[in-house]
Amino acid sequence: MPLEIVTVPCLKDNYAYIVKGPDGIALIDAPEAKPLIAVFEQRGWAPDVIMLTHHHGDHTEGVAELREKYGCRVMGPAAEKDKLPPLDMALDPGFTGGTEDGLCEVIAVPGHTLGHIAYHYPEAGCIFTGDSLMAFGCGRIFEGTPAMMWESLQTLAALNPQMIVCSGHEYSASNAAFAQTIEPNNPALISRANMITAARAKGQPTAQVPLSLELQTNPFLRAGQPEVKKAIGMEDASDLEVFTEIRARKDKF
């Protein structure tokens, strides 16, 4: 049974994902309850489990209402259990569960927060990255270090390039504008930026893309590429130094 994935806009620019597969219905992050309940009722579904990527409120504020309404279990990173709503199951990196296309493995992606995790469905070809790897970007480093985030991005970059990356925010347009300040002559980047502009004009989400496209256009993933180092005048710098500089520039963008 292939996964059915429903992207649900929440709050101002968040996304939650409803994942229906052979083992039931999971909700990836719960920014707010109302729009999620509307989708569940429209489809006649109910969540069996809420799977949280990290502790920030814009990913967890809907948990209490959803748990009360549906009686669903809540899972999240064990490293952040003291900052999360009460967990029925605390997850450590390396944990796997589910069957067939519903097989899911937990990957550590610290940087944005120290215990941030991603949910990887290798058989289904998708990964839910929260605020780690994002469309055209990466999360701001609030709790970790640039080295942590760079290592997390390298972990994700090594996955199957056909993997669909589903991230937690609709930041693509602003991220695209920044990316063009780093590689203004990257044809793949220019083409993607134009597609994002057209999609957003129609109200379409743009935070779900193949990893292969991120590898071609995301300046944070490309910090180790010679052309990127040359573009920002850091030809002799390490990959981590270049990533740190790009992240610092985005913080001020």
**Residue 169 marked as a ligand binder:** yes
The set of residues, in sequence order, having a beta carbon less than 8 Å from that of 91 and lying 6+ positions away, is: 75, 76, 77, 78, 106, 117
CB 103 within 8 A of CB 123: yes
pTM across the whole model: 0.97
Mean pLDDT for all residues in the chain? 97
**Residue 55 marked as a ligand binder:** no
Q: Is the pLDDT of residue 19 over 80?
A: yes
CATH architecture of 1-87: 4-Layer Sandwich (3.60)
The set of residues, in sequence order, having a beta carbon less than 8 Å from that of 15 and lying 6+ positions away, is: 7, 8, 9, 29, 31, 166, 167, 168, 169, 170, 205, 207
Percentage of residues in the chain having pLDDT higher than 90:
99
Residue 30's identity, in one-letter code, is A
Start-end of H helices in the chain: 33-43, 63-70, 146-157, 172-182, 187-201, 211-217, 226-231, 239-252
Q: Is the pLDDT of residue 201 over 70?
A: yes
Residue 31's pLDDT band, with cuts at 50, 70 and 90, is: very high
Tell me: the pLDDT tens digits for 230-239? 999 999 999 9
Mean local confidence (pLDDT), 136-151: 97
CB 155 within 8 A of CB 191: no
Mean local confidence (pLDDT), 133-157: 97
- Other C-beta atoms within 10 Å of 192: how many? 23
Residue 22's pLDDT band, with cuts at 50, 70 and 90, is: very high
CB 110 within 8 A of CB 116: yes
How is the chain split into domains, by residue range?
Answer: 1-87, 103-253
Mean local confidence (pLDDT), 242-246: 98
What pLDDT does 2 receive? 83
What pLDDT does 12 receive? 95
Distances (CA, A) of 145 to 108, 140, 242: 14, 10, 14
CATH architecture of 103-253: 4-Layer Sandwich (3.60)
Round to whole Å and give the CA distance between 209 and 40: 24
Task: Indicate if 103-253 has the same CATH topology as 1-87.
Answer: yes
**Residue 13 marked as a ligand binder:** no
Percentage of residues in the chain having pLDDT higher than 70:
100
CA dihedral angle for residue 208, residue 213, residue 214, residue 216, rounded to 10 degrees: -170
Q: Is the pLDDT of residue 1 over 80?
A: no
**Residue 239 marked as a ligand binder:** no
Q: Is the pLDDT of residue 227 over 70?
A: yes
**Residue 120 marked as a ligand binder:** no
Tell me: the pLDDT tens digits for 84-143? 999 999 999 999 999 999 999 999 999 999 999 999 999 999 999 999 999 999 999 999
Mean local confidence (pLDDT), 213-235: 97
